[in-house]
Amino acid sequence: MLKITKRDNLNKNQEMLIRALAICLSIVCSGLILLIFGLNPVNIFQAIIDGSLGTELRIQQTIIKAVPLVITSLGILVAFKMKFWNIGGEGQIVMGALAAAFVALHFGDLPKPLMLLFMMIAAMLAGGFWAFIPAVFKAKMGTNETIFTLMMNYIAIKFVTYLQYGPWMDPNANGFPKIAPFPENAILPSVLGVHAGWILAILCTVLIYFLMKYTKLGYEITVVGESFETARYAGMNINKIIIVAMMISGGLCGLVGMIQASAIEKTLVSGISCGYGFTAIITAWLARLNAVATLFACLAFAMLIQGGAYIQLAMNVPSAVASVVEGTILFFVLGSEFFLQYRVNLAGKTDRRSKKEVA
């Protein structure tokens, strides 16, 4: 009964209208789901906003949650722009944190600026290397990068778990399986009440925007994502582009590991990624793989995360309620992409219109 046809290019106003309608419908649908659960959607939405922006401390906590999400999303963006489905952000974050922890725990006499710099470099190299492995297999043997990067997440996490319960276990922890805390010179300083990671997040946003929009590499990544054949016809080295782009993607995720280990945990733990590698996939898609839009999408999701934690404490409501809102928004926004590219008509109506045009 339905006929799906490819749309012609929509103008900006039509695109904005469809996306705005998708967001409005997602909020309405979220409200209906909350009503089914016996919750007042108006009170829940107000509490989420209040819990994320209501006081200076809550704003700071929202920014703290937004920082790793922004940088990870930028890393995912670079890979996805090339249609390389990097689902390995979690593992790349963990390996970045591992490398940063190695520097912090074994070179504790370094001055603070050098310590933090070396930790960042080590983290980005480790994250880039963890992304380099599936990139090489994809470029040389055509392996499925989705499964490959996903499986590498668990390898990284289990490796850190092994270190936490074995060789790196703190002898002063009385048998408790934890790694020794970082020395003071390995802790990121605070700027305006929030750790300096927010400055790195803004810098990364600017750099990735510039990379994708104004550099040869960014153009090549976009062309490879649009068509391998076009890139090959233009004489581009596709294998090299895949590997370099993935190392940038993994390097950014590795930087997140350093920030989380240095500023939040102040040590290395196996759960240091906190699911940011998976959540970043959502925010990168919501931003339509645009670096500046990613910054705002991540801030919105950080508000949901922080607001979800708040309603759990203040209203005795499960924090999973915020996840329901997140998932519903994602469903409608991604669904709107279908209607941006395709037109859905009743088959009978379309056939009658075609007959009239022929007549």
Of all helices (H) and strands (E), which one includes residue 144?
none
Please report, in angstroms and rounded to a whole number, the separation of the first and last CA atoms in the chain.
23
Going from N- to C-terminal start, the domains of the chain cover: 1-39+317-359, 67-313
Q: How far apart are CA 314 and CA 195, in angstroms?
A: 26
Spell out, as residue ranges, where the chain has pLDDT lower than 50: 350, 354-355, 357-359
Quote the pLDDT of residue 6. Answer: 75
Question: Half-sphere exposure of residue 249, counting CA atoms within 13 Å on the CB side?
Answer: 37
Neighbours of 357 (CB within 10 A): 7
148-171 pLDDT per residue, tens: 999 999 999 999 999 999 899 988
Spatial distance between the Cα atoms of 251 and 176, rounded to a whole number of angstroms: 32
Whether the CB-CB separation of 319 and 311 falls below 8 Å is answered with yes
pLDDT of residue 171: 86
Confidence (pLDDT) at 351:
52
Tokens of 272: 């240091």
Model-wide pTM > 0.85 = yes
Q: What is the pLDDT of residue 323?
A: 77
The pLDDT tens digits for 228-260 are 888 999 899 999 999 999 999 999 999 999 999
Task: Name the residue type at position 168.
Answer: W
Vertex 325: Cα angle to 193 and 75 (nearest 5)? 55
pLDDT at 1: 66
pLDDT value of position 358: 45
Domain 67-313 falls in which CATH fold? ABC transporter involved in vitamin B12 uptake, BtuC (1.10.3470)
Question: How confident is the model at residue 176, as a pLDDT?
Answer: 86
- Share above pLDDT 90 across residues of the chain, in percent, rounded to a whole number: 57
> What's the confidence (pLDDT) of residue 44?
85
Residues 6+ apart with CB under 8 A from 335: 22
